[in-house]
Amino acid sequence: MSKLLLLLHSSPPLPPPPFHFTTAPILHHRATTLLRASILSKKPPNLSSSLALFRKATLSSSFLSPSSSFRCRTFSVRAFDSDDSKTEQEEEKKESFHVKKSDEDYPSGEFDFQEIGAWNRFLVKLKMLIAFPWERVRKGSVLTMKLRGQISDQLKSRFSSGLSLPQICENFIKAAYDPRISGIYLHIDGLNCGWAKVEEIRRHIFNFKKSGKFVVAYLPACREKEYYLASACDDLYLPPAAYFSFYGFTVQAAFLAGVFENVGIQPDVQRIGKYKSAGDQLTRKSMSKENCEMLTAILDNIYGNWLDKVSSTKGKKIEDMKNFINEGVYKVERLKEEGLITNMHYDDEVISMLKEKVGVQKDKVLPMVDYSKYSRVRNWTLGLTGGRDLIAIIRASGSISRVKSPLSLSGSGIIGEQLIEKIRQARESKKYKAAIIRIDSPGGDALASDLMWREIRLLAESKPVIASMSDVAASGGYYMAMAADTIVAENLTLTGSIGVVTGKFSLGKLYEKIGFNKEIISRGKYAELLAADQRPLRPDEAELFAKSAQNAYEQFRDKAAFSRSMPVDKMEEVAQGRVWTGQDAASRGLVDAIGGFSRAVAIAKQKANIPQDRQVKLVELSRPSPTLPEILSGIGSSVVGAERTLKELLQDLAFSKGVQARMDGILFQGLEDASYDNPILTLIKDYLGSL
């Protein structure tokens, strides 16, 4: 155990921010604070001092360019240049804060299936005749998709393994309009993704059913998440010996403070925000009161949503579903008795029933096309190509790093410098009418988050920018989102977590135990702040460490208030590192609308003055290119798979440094897949998730 921990902490200690804020953001904050105070108190602002501060901040920093004129959620420069007349003061008040729309003011983006006319059907058949061989599908085929394990929010290349949410959703839309597809057969087994992705897929199941085609689900292993998704299908089958458990939902947090004491490691962690639990795993032995409050609220939201949606879909009362869970049911037969599944059948029996549905004789083979092959069918062959108006899609998934490291792999997290290139590409091109930033990230490097925030703000000056949140857009992930014009989240997206954490380890006692010695010669009062891991921080070093983290938090909080047009004290109430579900975040002004990617597209069209009934072409700017390891992995190389896992682990260890705007690695058991790993490895995995 001591060897393992030594490996984990042999990388450089976590320093305070490796960057220095200029005084410009502070000056800007002081200027805008003066304005806010004057507006709230209804007194004329001291325009000369405000203007001087504002101009000084603008000229000395890239926080705002001199030509900035953000279209929404920003303070108007005119507010600082006008005289003291009553009329202009009233105009200032109107322009100072963005008038918040309610959820109902935004288009729903609801899928509207339209029957294909005779001429269009003829064109589709003609295109299918000249399509590539791998795009050809037999008439009357059933689309099969195995939804199991990880589901990425990124697009996948044809050589990449695993499931991609964009391609799953696209397959549902294509299949709805494809005259060759009779229905969909879903194998749902052991999902390892968040509730937002499940909600997105569930929505597409309901949308597909509007075409009049069937959706059948088969679940060899069924827990709450798998059942939640399958309940949207027409028919739901389990094998008689299915792994089944409806026992409820739990949340768990692991703590390493006791382990560190035993091996002689002393973590020095600064976390700003009373709900910012990242770092608690290193310094505490039990859950804090604030963390317990936050996690309880999230758990209640997820449990309540599950009861509401499932009971509504199955025609049950919420109280009846509660009682069913509390009974501790373990027999699959009870699901049939309660009408929660269609019947108990094996896979081959379900396929026989599907033959009857599509009119295939029993002795014939059911024509089927799998997810992988159908993903290669282009929209063009089905007449689903978009219109002339282009909307740029920029996907940001994973932990945030500022620069690409030697260990970085294709698609492994958000590399700030690479994403900034995509954002600038969308800004500099006049062909895009709007942009959607699709975020699925718990955060990471605070500086990288700030740099991307800046670029998204610049993009928002030239065209509408919509942030669409997936499973999680928290901490650094929310930092990016708050730069957009409008933020769209699912009901159960985890977001917020406006706070920061930084830290380093004191390994003196561990060094004594293993007979290791380290001595440092330095010049400069604080030169050993980052280098001296053989001793705890001195009081003056600890004070500087804390001030640095506090400064980073205030930058984050103030920019969040600025971006969301909130007074700083109001933002402080919802910040403090607290994680919210999408619905709760919307009620507190952190999110604008509840919905999935399709709603983000609809809002982008509204903002760009594109009629809702007009098709648009979505251009993926972050489309992946296959790498050699992915190609080898795609043909079954377990060695490459192991190497990839090892590299990702080493990358997390070596580059988790600096101030972190990151949500912690709390494990949701029952909300995510069950963890059957070695408990010690699970503990370490959870710890690594919070670095």
Q: Encode burial over 502-516: b for 16+ CB neighbours within 10 A, e otherwise.
A: bbbbbbbbbbeeeee
How many alpha carbons lie under 13 Å from residue 57 in its C-beta half-sphere? 21
- Tokens 């705007």 sit on residue: 661
What's the rounded Cα separation, in Å, for the pair 255 and 87?
Answer: 59
Q: Encode burial over 230-268: b for 16+ CB neighbours within 10 A, e otherwise.
A: bbbbebbbbbeebbbebeebebebbbbbebbeebbbbbb
Q: How far apart are the first and last CA of the chain?
A: 19
Q: Could you give the residue ranges of the DSSP H alpha helices within 315-370?
A: 318-326, 332-337, 347-358
DSSP type of residue 525 = T
Q: In this structure, what are the phi and psi dihedrals at residue 666, rounded to the nearest 5 degrees?
A: -60, 135
What's the rounded Cα separation, in Å, for the pair 236 and 202?
Answer: 14
Beta-strand pair 235-238/343-344: parallel
What's the rounded Cα separation, in Å, for the pair 317 and 511?
Answer: 61
- DSSP E strand boundaries for 450-519: 465-474, 486-489, 494-496, 500-506
What's the rounded Cα separation, in Å, for the pair 294 and 281?
Answer: 16
Confirm if 407 and 650 have CB atoms less than 8 A apart.
yes
What's the rounded Cα separation, in Å, for the pair 548 and 526?
Answer: 13
What's the rounded Cα separation, in Å, for the pair 426 and 622?
Answer: 11
Q: Of residues 277, 311, 375, 475, which has the active-site annotation?
A: 475
Cβ neighbours for 469, distance < 8 A, ≥ 6 positions apart:
196, 439, 440, 477, 481, 487, 488, 489, 490, 493, 495, 582, 591
**Selection from 260, 251, 249, 259 nearest residue 287 by Cα:** 251
User: Is 297 in a helix, a strand, or coil?
Assistant: helix
Cβ neighbours for 301, distance < 8 A, ≥ 6 positions apart:
491, 492, 581, 583, 584
What's the rounded Cα separation, in Å, for the pair 195 and 470?
Answer: 9
**Selection from 639, 665, 638, 641 nearest residue 652 by Cα:** 665
Cα dihedral across residues 121, 126, 129, 131: positive or negative? negative
- Tokens 């408990």 sit on residue: 679
Token pair belonging to 47: 């325009």
Q: Encode burial over 96-121: b for 16+ CB neighbours within 10 A, e otherwise.
A: bbbeeeebeebbebebeeeebeeeee
475 classed as catalytic: yes
Confirm if 257 and 342 have CB atoms less than 8 A apart.
no
What is the maximal distance between C-alpha atoms in the chain? 88
What's the rounded Cα separation, in Å, for the pair 14 and 500?
Answer: 13
Active-site amino acid positions? 475
